[in-house]
Amino acid sequence: MAMTKADLIEEVSKVVDMTRKDSEVIVEAIFDSVVRSLRQGDKIEIRGFGSFRTRQRQPRVGRNPKTGARVDVPAKRIPFFKPSKELKDIVNGHESPEGIDTDD
């Protein structure tokens, strides 16, 4: 099962005992801040969670899968997330962070 943005908003509203509308404003503000920082080329580091940054992809020659024709693919920046060691350990069941119920 994948968690959607609506699920995340619902979870935030339950945890902090706020209205769903107020939680939506908070979640949207966080996402907007991350996107704005990445567009400016900044790195976002959230201790214990991971870091977001952009990587530069060089221009290359690709192929159209239907026709096999050569296609020039321009250089571009792509968003990249690197999880922290703590997050990797939690996902792999090596430790449980405070306040997170892992019995579900």
| Residue 103's pLDDT band (cuts 50, 70, 90) | very low
* Per-residue pLDDT, 104: 45
Span 94-102, average pLDDT = 58
87 vs 93: CA distance, rounded Å:
10
Indicate left, alpha or beta for 21 from its phi (over 0: left) and psi (-120 to 50: alpha): alpha
70 vs 68: CA distance, rounded Å:
7
* Domains annotated on the chain, with CATH: 1-42 (no CATH), 46-94 (4.10.520.10)
Span 9-23, average pLDDT = 94
The 10s digit of each residue's pLDDT in 36-64 is 999 999 999 999 999 999 999 999 999 99
75 vs 60: CA distance, rounded Å:
8
Percent of the chain with pLDDT over 70: 90
* Per-residue pLDDT, 96: 60
